[in-house]
Structure 1
């Protein structure tokens, strides 16, 4: 009886594993290697709405599967990458794009890094100039006398 139970358990585990592997593999037929590469690029450039920071090409979420199917269908219909991206953005929103478009709504998003870089450059220039000017400034007569007294006091025992 025990060998029969072990055998049934092994068969059930094998069936479950086969089903799990079969669910995660999608087979797509492409007309050319270029079209296959376009599909790979498009599915890696769009974010899964459910998984947040995972591309639809890597996600196992059902909505990502639907999105991949739609991208494949649009590719087969002969649409350009821009048309496919516009279609997907119209359907799922700007959130799916890893690189948001440069629009009036995103000027601040694109402008902050540039502004920080320019501000940092200006700050470095100002600090360097201030240090240069501070090091080249000569001492007044009273400051020089005070410095000489301090130096002489340190030398004398």
Structure 2
């Protein structure tokens, strides 16, 4: 009986860990010395840094990255917020300094039109290709009636066999 209890407890812990429960949480690279004393400003800083790309790691937000540049960017975001900048002003400042690449989710404008439009164009082209292919197969598999000459030729072959 004791073995079943420990097995059940182990399975429950494994399910909890895999589901992302209290044993696991978001791993943030923010160190305690970076955290602002004002909870509202800190919340804004976390929201902003979750959408900013680490220029070293490139596939992580600056909140998740341990790179020195990511830490500098986190501190810069907090400095701008403490100075009284709005969220848009902070983002615009960072974009003017580092380019659109610093944003994990690029803005929609003429420069990023191809980035945003390509998935839609590819999807529509795929649907169009599928429709054309299905219609072509239907036409190819539809049997056609024999011409009188073909029927006569078949009848001659059948008579010759008999």
The alignment's TM-score, normalised by the length of structure 1, stands at 0.66
Name the one with the larger helix percent: 1
Q: Does 1:51 align with 2:60?
A: no
User: Which residue does the alignment assign to 1:42?
Assistant: 48
Relative to structure 1, the CA distance from residue 130 to residue 68 in structure 2 (aligned partners, 3 Å threshold; closer, same or farther) is same
In 2, Cα distance between equivalents of 1:142 and 1:64 = 81
In 2, Cα distance between equivalents of 1:106 and 1:67 = 24
Relative to structure 1, the CA distance from residue 141 to residue 93 in structure 2 (aligned partners, 3 Å threshold; closer, same or farther) is same
Paired residue total: 127
Consecutive aligned runs of 4 or more in structure 1 exceeding 4 Å deviation: 142-146
In 1, Cα distance between equivalents of 2:93 and 2:32 = 22
User: Which residue does the alignment assign to 1:83?
Assistant: 89
For the aligned residue pairs, the C-alpha RMSD in angstroms reads: 3.0
In 1, Cα distance between equivalents of 2:111 and 2:32 = 37
Deviations, residues 13-37 of structure 1 (Å, cap 9, x unaligned): xxxxxxxxxx9723413434x5433
In 2, Cα distance between equivalents of 1:70 and 1:129 = 58
User: Which residue does the alignment assign to 1:31?
Assistant: 38
Map residues 76-155 of structure 1 onto 2, 5 A cutoff: 76-141=82-147, 145=151
Map residues 61-72 of structure 1 onto 2, 5 A cutoff: 61-72=67-78
Note the residue ranges of structure 1 that are not aligned, 5 or more in a row: 1-22, 153-157
Relative to structure 1, the CA distance from residue 113 to residue 141 in structure 2 (aligned partners, 3 Å threshold; closer, same or farther) is same
The alignment's TM-score, normalised by the length of structure 2, stands at 0.64
1:100 partner SS: coil
User: Which residue does the alignment assign to 1:14?
Assistant: none
| Deviation of 1:107 (Å) | 1.6
